[in-house]
Amino acid sequence: MSSSDLKSFTSGEIAKFCGVTLRTVIRWIEGGKLKGYKLPGRGNNRVLQEDFLRFLKEHNMPIPDALKQQEHPTVLIVDDELSMAKAIQRVARRAGLRSIIANDGFQAGMLLTEHQPELMTLDLSMPGLDGFEVIKHTRANSAFDKVKIVVISALPEEKLKEALASGANYAFPKPFEQHELLAFFESFIE
């Protein structure tokens, strides 16, 4: 599973990551600046990776490489045409993004929930799967607040605007310009 990944760190590990004394980390936790919890023994501290990352971002602190790997900037590519999906995937890979492909709605829902990607590219006109429905369902679920929806469609511009109004974040006409999409993907690498 994805979110059940409950990796946690000790106060000492956090101290090393932040280049700071253990004493200080404990004071951060005590002061409520860093969320943590205590083991039953003598109250040794543990901090969930999730909470630690939030803490780092909140204070604009550098994120250790060891944690960056698990940040997996991932893009879910939803397209019924495999050749088109692979074309998008190549661009994503060039930009340094991990990517996964969904050929139908069921896979899309499964992979979206399982992998919690940062980005989802979406074809609007697929036989048997209405892209607008996907946008609606995704936006109705607060678990996917952070997912950016990128519509890539051959439909006329008014439909693209409609998609944006329904909750999509970006829209590209199809066929897409390689360098445009590449630049867009790269802006997510940071």
Partner DNA sequence: ACACATAATGTCATAAATGTCACATAAAAT
Partner DNA sequence: ATTTTATGTGACATTTATGACATTATGTGT
Q: Which residues bind DNA (CB under 7 A)?
A: 10-13, 15, 19-28, 30, 39-45
Residue 8 pairs in a beta bridge with 48
Interacting residue with a copy of itself among 12, 74, 87, 107 (CB under 8 A)? 107
> Nearest distance from residue 19's CB to DNA, in Å?
7
Nearest Cα residue to 72 out of 115, 38, 123, 106: 115
90 binds a copy of itself (CB under 8 A): no
Strands 37-38 and 45-48: antiparallel
Q: Which of 22, 48, 154, 182 binds a copy of itself (CB under 8 A)?
A: 48
Dist CA 98 CA 67 (whole Å): 16
Report the residue from 143, 156, 161, 177 that binds a copy of itself according to the rule CB under 8 A.
143
Residues 158-187 that bind a copy of itself (CB under 8 A): none
DSSP conformation class of 29: H
DSSP letter (8 states) at residue 103: S
Tokens of 34: 């860093």
1 binds, among DNA, a copy of itself, none (CB under 5 to 8 A by kind): a copy of itself
Residue nearer to a copy of itself on the CB measure, 67 or 154: 67
Q: Residue 156 CB, nearest distance to a copy of itself (Å)?
A: 22
113 lies in the site for a copy of itself, by CB under 8 A? yes
Is the separation of the CB atoms in 185 and 92 below 8 Å?
yes
Q: Which two tokens stand for residue 3?
A: 């979110």
DSSP secondary structure letter of residue 31: T
**Residue 178 binds: one of a copy of itself, DNA, none (C-beta under 5 to 8 A by kind):** none
Spatial CB neighbours of 3, under 8 Å, sequence gap ≥ 6: 116
Binding site for a copy of itself (CB under 8 A): 1, 3-4, 6-8, 17-20, 24, 27-28, 33-34, 37-41, 46, 48, 55, 59-62, 64-66, 104-114, 127-130, 133-134, 137, 141, 143
